[in-house]
Chains A and B, each alone.
Chain A
Amino acid sequence: MAATAKTEKVVTAAQATGLQKVAINMRKYWQIYILIIPAVVWYIIFAYYPMAGLQLAFKTYKAKIGIWGSPWCGFQNFEAVFRDVYFWRSVGRTLVINLGRLVINFPAPILLALMLNELRVGRYKKVMQTIFTFPHFLSWVIVASIMTNLLSVDGLVNSALGAMGLDSVNFLGSEVLFQPMLYITDIWKSAGYSSIIYLSAISGIDQDQYEAAEIDGATRWQRIWHVTLPNILPTVSVLFIMTTGGLMTAGFDQIFNLSNAATKNVAEVLDMYIYRITFTASTDFGFSTAVSLFRSIINMTLLVIANKGSKMMGGTGLFG
């Protein structure tokens, strides 16, 4: 009887597919799987359990009786959201700004990593890397204050323009210049830090490939193009997919701090819209949750599309 059972088990393991394989693997390598328990618990507590709060999008929130006890209101919150012309404008603005980021800002850390990788003097490379990484640790409040001092009508840049006999430019109050300012400040603040992941991918490239290319007479540019870039492409793909999944999130901190009354018409992205309706009037958590849920669904859809697209083009998907 025991022999029969053992035979059945072996057969099952050999023929197992999908979840069965996972279960068998878990039994086999249980010591390894134990190590991921803290991460799983973290996700359950801080990522999945709070998702229960999404039901607020379909409820009229009553704090005293809590999320679960609050009465259902169907799609009433969504109807109000979709009726609001300013909501749709903020959605459009968010997409436009983030598509711009995808085109302009996304390649910046890749280029920076490639350039840093080409530096030959180790100490100089480290100094440059530190300089480029430092702005990441400044808050947007500080960055906005620096920008104001630099770009105001009596700031450093306009003073320099004046000294050269040029007219001053209203950088801070220009709707046209607002979007470029977002991109420039974002690159200045984040490119150095984001390049770390590409530098680590570059450092993992087999040095034999460079030697072989060098023996074949490849120039430095050709080595970058034909060795470095193809090797970091999986990392680029994953980060591209992740970035696409955040297209509906435009960076509240940055825009909140850099915008002002003169540029408000081009600055109300979805996050700013949620902030306005949540905190400048009576709090309506159901409404705010409806907007957030809508945003998450769009982000998720974009993520899935980008993942599929990446795979279809022969690249790497999020899950390999």
Chain B
Amino acid sequence: MKSRKLLAMLLAASMVASFASCNASEETTTSSEDTASNSSSETSTTSTEPAKTSTDSGVLAATTGVTAEDILARDYSEPITISFAGIQCTDGFDYTHGNEYYDWWSDTFNIEWDVISLSFDTWVERLNTWINADDLPDWSVWNFTPGDAANYAEQGLVYEMPENWKTEYPNLAAAATCSEANAHYEELYGGMYYFFRPTFANNFPADLITNHMSLMIRTDWAEQAGFTLSGLDTRTISESEFFAYCRAVKDAGLTDVPLYTSSGGIGTLLGKVAEANGTMESAYYKADDGMYHWGPAEEETGIKEGLRKIKQAYDEGLIYQEFYTMQSPDDAGHFYAAGDGAAVVIEGMASTFDNFAVEMQNNLNLDFWEVASPMIITDDNGVAQDTPSTNYWGVNILSPNIDEATYERIMSIWDYGCTEEGQLRIRLGLPDVDWTYDENGEVVSLLDGGYAALTEKYTTMSPITGNMFILSDDYSFINPSISKEARDLVSDLYIERAKIASTIGEEPDWDLLSYSSQAMNLASMTYADEYANIITKSGDFDANYDQWVSDKMAMIQPVLDELNAAFSE
């Protein structure tokens, strides 16, 4: 009994240590001891060092007391079939023995996968239907919505973790601390129902987690048009400068339509140029007066003015006339394949840059690193508008009807996936086949063609294992199968954004993030589409915008009344 208590205390202490290392990357002032920050400086533009592995950083280094070897040494003699529902799975692919990569997982954990492939457009509907029908697969990836989540937890429609899960699966517990959402909602719902999958865990290079959306522009065209990009060194561009760049390349005859983008891209652009107080996603925010307001109706958010500039650019022909019909990656295709786009809104991630490099070389015979650059969008005061990060994307949920053996097997797989060994296997493939350690102890890829070669060799590796808990974004900063240029570039962007983000010192508004009501449901809308509609509407912009706000307030006011009654100061 005493030894158990001692073990529990040791585990608790190790988890606190890992929590500290994890949270350090989310705070604006971080400890210089923070290994994640250390690795960031090593992967900045000035770095010539090879990428570091996660050996000595973050939660994976935490002494959880349970190593990968311990997890693999457990008794898996009973064969288990695990049903899994997730997006981006490939129908018809044998996830149990489709390739050597999945062979290892299936053989080691003695499992068979029963995979249900979900598409992005029906993902939410299907899972909500299954949850409400009490017919969930063993493990699903769900798009968390607070109203449903509270309801499902209250009714026991999703599995509640037993009290000992943190001690039984300490690597998972340590990784879970990387997203504040895990602790917040565990406390709010009185139990652990949802595993918020952290986007970043060990390798984030900056002191503040920011949004990765950026603009990609043609630097060679700017030069040809005689346009000076003032923020090229820091990779920043203000809204006004961006539209001036678009105008310059159009006037120079380099393209007819500088910006190809989707409605979502317009929403992103607006979110990044307006002083939006983080209102682009939920649109509600608590202002200095301590009361909740609706962003589009308030002058201080700058949404109207930002939209006016975008509307003006649209009317000038700087934005593709039918942007509202565009889908990704068609917008990017104009940039890297057709070669007629001067800019595109992108997810500024390392693999994106490598992908652009390959496509531009293949299609346009251009060297991406010479002719293009991702840029952080700022307002005219040089501030990158953002929302405080909760550092997660999607949640893992288990069926309330799951049997104990299946539960234990899934948790062991997750726990293993959060160890260093697990991460290397997930990100790089099989040791000594796809990657190995060099003489300096650094991880090196054995595959020609890096990340692309890996995903080609093991198609469909990411839907189940790749994003089983810690998302792939985290390892991309040090992933040796991604080019060093791309890794350095993405690190630079995060580091720069952290310096100029509007969210410095701000915390997520958990009251708002956790709130749900019928009024809020009725007031739900896709803001990017709303803004796209205003941009394309003919007639007087002010009249159209004011009319839209006035229309919407009929739905919005009840929400504001509820929020202010519950949370105003």
Contacts and interface: CB of A to CB of B under 8 A. Distances in A.
Interface of A: 61-65, 80, 84-86, 148, 152-153, 170, 172-173, 260-262, 264-265, 276-277, 279-285, 287
B124 A173 contact: no
A262 B554 contact: no
A287 B518 contact: yes
B522 interface: yes
B149 to A, nearest CB: 9
B148 A283 contact: yes
A61 B134 CA distance: 13
Interface of B: 124-125, 128, 131-134, 145-148, 151, 155-157, 263, 321-322, 324-325, 516, 518, 520-522, 524-526, 528-530, 532-533, 536, 551, 554-555
B522 A261 contact: no
Contact of B263 (A261, A281, A287): A261
Contacts of A277: 521-522, 524
A280 B526 contact: yes
A282 B156 contact: no
Contacts of B530: 261, 264
A172 B532 CA distance: 13
A152 B524 contact: no
A65 B132 CA distance: 10
A85 B554 contact: yes
A279 B125 contact: yes
B536 A261 contact: yes
Nearest to A65: B155
Contact of A283 (B128, B322, B554): B128
A148 B324 CA distance: 12
A233 to B, nearest CB: 43
B518 A80 contact: yes
A282 B516 contact: yes
A262 B516 CA distance: 29
B555 A281 contact: no
7 contacts: A64-B155, A65-B155, A86-B522, A152-B322, A173-B536, A262-B324, A277-B521
A172 B533 contact: no
Given A64-B134, A86-B555, A261 B532 contact: yes
Contact of B529 (A84, A153, A264, A282): A264
Nearest to A173: B536
Given A262-B536, A281-B520, 9 more contacts: A63-B157, A80-B522, A86-B555, A152-B325, A172-B322, A173-B325, A280-B525, A282-B145, A284-B518
B543 to A, nearest CB: 15
B558 to A, nearest CB: 8
A221 B3 CA distance: 101
B325 A276 contact: no
Given A64-B134, A277-B522, A282 B325 contact: no
B148 A282 contact: yes
A281 B147 contact: yes
Given A80-B518, A261-B529, A277-B522, A282 B554 contact: no
A63 B131 contact: yes
Contacts of A262: 324, 532-533, 536
Contacts of B146: 282
B157 to A, nearest CB: 6
Given A84-B522, A276-B524, A279-B125, A63 B529 contact: no
Given A261-B528, A261-B533, A264-B533, A173 B322 contact: yes
B524 A281 contact: yes
Contacts of A260: 263, 324-325
Contacts of B125: 279
Contacts of B157: 63-64
A63 B155 contact: yes
A281 B145 CA distance: 8
Given A261-B533, A285-B132, A148 B325 contact: yes
Contacts of B325: 148, 152, 172-173, 260
Contact of A170 (B124, B322, B520, B524): B322
A264 B531 CA distance: 11
B521 A281 contact: yes
Contacts of A172: 322, 325
Contacts of A148: 325
Given A62-B155, A279-B125, A281-B524, A173 B134 contact: no
A86 B523 CA distance: 10
Nearest to B155: A64
A240 to B, nearest CB: 34
Contacts of B524: 276-277, 280-281
B328 to A, nearest CB: 15
A157 to B, nearest CB: 13
A265 B132 CA distance: 31
A261 B324 contact: yes
A285 B151 CA distance: 12
B536 A63 contact: no
B321 A173 contact: yes
B124 to A, nearest CB: 6
Which of A64, A153, A170, A287 has the largest count of B CB atoms less than 10 A from its CB? A64
Contacts of B528: 261
Contacts of A283: 128, 132, 148
Contacts of B516: 282
B96 to A, nearest CB: 31
A268 to B, nearest CB: 10
B322 A153 contact: yes
A265 B530 CA distance: 9
Contacts of B155: 62-65
Nearest to A275: B125
A287 B555 contact: no
Contacts of B529: 261, 264
A119 B322 CA distance: 43
A134 B325 CA distance: 26
Contacts of B521: 277, 281-282, 284, 287
A284 B145 CA distance: 13
Contacts of A64: 134, 155-157
Nearest to A155: B322
Contact of A265 (B321, B520, B533, B555): B533
Contacts of B555: 84-86
Which of A61, A63, A86, A282 has the largest count of B CB atoms less than 10 A from its CB? A282
B321 A153 contact: yes
Sorted nearest first, the 7 A-B pairs with minimum C-beta distance are A282-B147, A261-B532, A281-B524, A261-B529, A261-B324, A64-B155, A281-B521
Contacts of A85: 551, 554-555
Contacts of B551: 85
B133 A63 contact: yes
A61 B521 CA distance: 15
Nearest to B324: A261
A309 to B, nearest CB: 36
Nearest to B558: A83
A63 B530 CA distance: 33
